[in-house]
Structure 1
């Protein structure tokens, strides 16, 4: 177990959650404000998606990312910003013609997914390491696209957080490393309990941890009621943690949460076990982030 643990807050996500809780931030100002409050509660990293302010649904617009990042950077918090680079991979085959995408499909090339990272240069960004049956759709991230995307992230000087949704994706990430597309001491995020990826249980987390490359760092999260059990398992095994409204809406059964409440609860659990949240500056040194 680490004495200092990075706490990531996944602030809003892209799922259909805004209509299920009034606390899910939607506008750029709401997302930035929620990230700042999470940082003040002890979050080391703010993981950022953006939404359409009118509908609350997914957005990939550059101006929304720009406003969120600008507001966070102009605040009095030094939280590490982690922008998603996994958008635009949603494929839902048309019922009339399965060779084309039906309603809900939203595809982007690697360069389009990378555009906010290229322009805003956060310290971290995500790289989703493979395709997946994701609920009732398919998330598309073939290996050739991963090679292209990993190279763009590397050239930008941004550190990738390697998102692993199923066990085989760890092999894809290690292959990218062998080709020199991921720098040494990589950072992995194990994304657990998402239909139809890997289970959110101790056996799976131990399996993944035992197959990490030498020098790797890892974090893990579970969705819904598995958020805190998976986070606890992660830091007890020597990893880092992620909480936030992207993955879970509830502080406890029947009680809707805010991001800062989820962070505060996680920090209290860690402190009870003898660990403390890592400050953003401590994490910058730990991960050797660009300064």
Structure 2
């Protein structure tokens, strides 16, 4: 059954190595905030924000950069919902050959409290909670989130009064996310984001999406996305499954073959698909009602 109002989340920039692959990836806090506002004007109710080092374009956990992004978005006096990533701080690069314990550059492992410093300081309405470990990509990188760490992160997020968006990279992640719900570590309607097509997690496609949606708790709110050329097909797929959608430059750089996208153009395309399928796009106020968020003062 189609949901009567579909929430669009726009993932603004991510932390991946995309700066040299697109002429206008948002890098500075000002660029990230401006791109978030562009996405909101195009129809996104939620903006999902990472931050980057302005000089290098590399992903970072710098609290000051997050604070500037949030301040700039709020200064625009919109009602857009801010969703800050908490996915940074679980990166482990295994050493080569016979020296696996000689961890490589890019390793960034911190504990749950440090991983959430910006969430504690800024109290966004939503932050992400990656719900398991993953062989991330085709090299030596692993993203590490142990059950013990995740329970502590969930407890901290709950104590900060922030709603966790549980990121699901494979079916085991979904199994554990449901366990967090059963243990009372997730308050209100549980919110799931199905992340499809990231090597080597859940493969992208209608079969995977349908299977995972079938495992959702009855009161769950779910969204999903596919990376690269699968971004728009998965917008349609998630709408047909009764869910919500995510688009943005974090997951896909192109609007059409050979045509670079902006966050605004990706949201506009998602709006068109949603409306052609016979439903409507949720405003931030409507998204808050769907998600059980408190209306801002």
Same fold flag (TM > 0.5): yes
Q: Is the 8 A contact 1:91 1:104 kept in 2?
A: yes
Question: What does 1:156-195 correspond to in 2, within 5 Å?
Answer: 156-195=160-199
How far residue 222 of structure 1 moved from its aligned partner, in angstroms, is: 0.5
Alpha-carbon separation, structure 2, partners of 1:260 and 1:79: 14
Could you tell me which of 120, 133, 136 is aligned with 1:134? Answer: 136
Q: Say how many residue pairs are matched.
A: 291
| Cα deviation digits, residues 146-195 of structure 1 (max 9, x gap) | 00000000111100000000011111111111111112420100000000
| Cα deviation digits, residues 200-227 of structure 1 (max 9, x gap) | 1111111111111120010000000010
Q: Is the 8 A contact 2:235 2:273 kept in 1?
A: no
How far residue 252 of structure 1 moved from its aligned partner, in angstroms, is: 0.4
State the TM-score, normalized to the length of structure 1. 0.98
Which residue does the alignment assign to 1:228?
Answer: 232
| Cα deviation digits, residues 101-159 of structure 1 (max 9, x gap) | 21121112111111111110000000000000000210000000000000000111100
Q: Is the 8 A contact 1:92 1:103 kept in 2?
A: yes
Q: Secondary structure at the match of 1:19?
A: helix
Question: What does 1:45-84 correspond to in 2, within 5 Å?
Answer: 45-84=46-85
Alpha-carbon separation, structure 2, partners of 1:175 and 1:272: 37
How far residue 273 of structure 1 moved from its aligned partner, in angstroms, is: 1.4
Alpha-carbon separation, structure 1, partners of 2:238 and 2:159: 31
Which residue does the alignment assign to 2:105?
Answer: 103
Q: Is the 8 A contact 2:39 2:264 kept in 1?
A: yes
Unaligned runs of 5+ in 1: none
How far residue 288 of structure 1 moved from its aligned partner, in angstroms, is: 1.5
Q: Which runs of structure 1 show a deviation greater than 4 angstroms over 4 or more consecutive aligned residues?
A: none
Alpha-carbon separation, structure 2, partners of 1:154 and 1:97: 39
Q: Does 1:260 align with 2:261?
A: no
Unaligned runs of 5+ in 2: none
| Cα deviation digits, residues 237-269 of structure 1 (max 9, x gap) | 100000000000000000001000000011011
Which residue does the alignment assign to 2:34?
Answer: 33
How far residue 99 of structure 1 moved from its aligned partner, in angstroms, is: 1.9
Question: What does 1:191-206 correspond to in 2, within 5 Å?
Answer: 191-206=195-210
Q: Secondary structure at the match of 2:167?
A: strand
State the TM-score, normalized to the length of structure 2. 0.96
